[in-house]
Amino acid sequence: MKMNNTNMARKLEVLFEDNHLIAVNKLSGDIVQGDKTGDKPLNEIVASYLKQKYDKPGDAFIGTIHRIDRPVTGVVLFAKTSKALARMNAQFQDKQVQKTYWAVVKNHPPKEVEEITHHLLRNRQKNKSFAYAHKYKDSKESSLKYEVLKKLDRYFLLEITPYTGRHHQIRVQLSTIGSSIKGDVKYGFDRTNKDASIHLHARNIQFIHPVTKELIEITAPTPDEVIWNACS
């Protein structure tokens, strides 16, 4: 079952919704859950959308299943029931959910297709991860597969399949192999994007529906922007 229809409501692009789950296309700058900035997070925006759509007298239940970084765009999945939340959390823990990302980079990576592994150390004070070839105390193994999908005028489009879910994993691993993501100055790109985004997009997610047991595939359209438009 594939879903990629969009439904705009108060700047919220809904990619999939049923009685148990809702998936939206996150904008750059959105935070998925509340943090110290105090900005309204995406989970609260989705809850408000559901409250208004269904005219609920109380607050709508929204469970955060996974997160993507603030400057990243793309599909984010939320649970509408506690049962769906528990079952989807279990799928993520058991690595039964497949996610793919698109990334725009300036430098061609070492190969056309490659699986890479690093050991990541997270610096919470700097909100940054560092990648190493060898294991260190407190480091976490981080693996992904990349494939070059398209050559653009000045950039390359990569498809990324992460095998682990580490902090800033795709960003730091691509930077380590010499292919920093466009706009990602934290990880080696030479200048920011004007809107503070980076060219990393959560393109697709596949999983078994927690209740119906159907295979669900959700694809998020890329932002309406010159370089992203050239990727299609």
pLDDT tens digits along 29-87: 999 987 777 788 999 999 999 999 888 888 889 999 999 999 999 999 999 999 999 99
Annotated active-site positions, please? 69
Q: How far apart are CA 139 and CA 130, in angstroms?
A: 9
Long-range Cβ pairs for the range 47-52 (8 Å, 24+): 49/9, 49/10, 49/12, 49/14, 50/22, 50/80
Q: Given the structure tokens 């990324």, which residue do they identify?
A: 160
Q: What pLDDT, on a 0 to 100 scale, did the predictor assign at position 9? A: 40
Quote the pTM value.
0.92
Helix residue ranges per DSSP H, the chain: 42-53, 82-93, 169-176, 226-231
Q: Which residues of the chain have pLDDT under 70?
A: 1-10
Q: Which domain holds residue 142?
A: 2-231
Q: What's the CATH number where 129 sits?
A: 3.30.2350.10
**Structural domain count of the chain:** 1
Q: What pLDDT, on a 0 to 100 scale, did the predictor assign at position 4? A: 46
